[in-house]
Amino acid sequence: MGQMNTNIKRSMLAALGQFASVNNQDHQPFFKVLTEVFSADKDYLKKVALLDAAFDDHSLYEPLREPFFDLLLINFLNEDVRKLEEDYLDSPEWEKIEEETMDRGTELLNLILYLQECQDEAIEPELTDFLREFLLVDEDEFQDEHRIYEEVIANQILVDSTLKELARVSASIPENSELKELFYPMIGFFRDPDPEDEEFAEFLKYSANPDFDSAVYALLITYNNQD
């Protein structure tokens, strides 16, 4: 049997539950299907195919397909790779996987890997730290990251701003930005990684995309709040 990382399982449940509650649906059947996909004793690309089939069958949750692809990849790196040869990530097999999945997933992957690092080092997540120390956006050889995150870099001050102002700026992010969808929940998380219920409700109120935004926010809060 494959393994499903506990933190990923809890975060996925939080995201699904939040997405479903905005849509007045029951998330448990889909959660059960996804848990089976993540725990399947199959190679990575077969799990990706199973994940896609699950989303094809549960079209309500389509907006979460790529963020959950990120979770599947992190689960694979955390659980399955440990059982493979230690140089697996340099192998031709892994190279093939990378090529086949190059256009999949989102920048949520980087953020979750950063949160994992924060836990390992027992530090609080912080936007400036994420941009400078983790993504290295100031370094010449990381100009791709600089380009992808340019709106976030330019708007770091929003972590000290109101949700209303964050929502206003989010609406002005260009449609072709790779971070368009994630901008509001990502900065919302750095602004308040552990919100009270009324803060979370306010986050929802100002969201232009409430089910997706609140699902991503719930996922990040849960992943960050590990015992």
User: CA 216, 220, 223, 226 torsion: positive or negative?
Assistant: negative
114 has a pLDDT exceeding 60? yes
Say how far apart CA 107 and CA 89 lie, in whole Å.
20
Give the number of residues written for the chain: 227
Tell me what the mean pLDDT of segment 169-191 comes to: 96
Q: For residue range 144-159, what is the model confidence (pLDDT) as tens digits?
A: 889 999 999 999 999 9
pLDDT of residue 227: 64
pLDDT of residue 212: 98
pLDDT of residue 96: 87
Tell me what the mean pLDDT of segment 71-100 comes to: 80
Q: For residue range 197-211, what is the model confidence (pLDDT) as tens digits?
A: 999 999 999 999 999
Mean pLDDT over the full length of the chain: 93
- Four-CA torsion 22, 130, 67, 161, nearest 10 degrees: 20
Q: Copy the structure tokens of residue 46.
A: 């077969």
Give me the percent of the chain exceeding a pLDDT of 90.
Answer: 78
Determine the 3-state secondary structure of 208 from DSSP. coil
User: Considering only 28-37, 75-84, 104-113, which range has the smallest mean pLDDT?
Assistant: 75-84
Please state the pTM of the whole predicted model: 0.94
Element (H, E) at 150: helix 150-154
CA-only gyration radius of the chain, Å: 17
- Residue identified by tokens 């949160």 is 115
Q: Copy the structure tokens of residue 150.
A: 């340019």
What DSSP assignment string belongs to 102-127?
TT---THHHHHHHHHHHHHHT----H
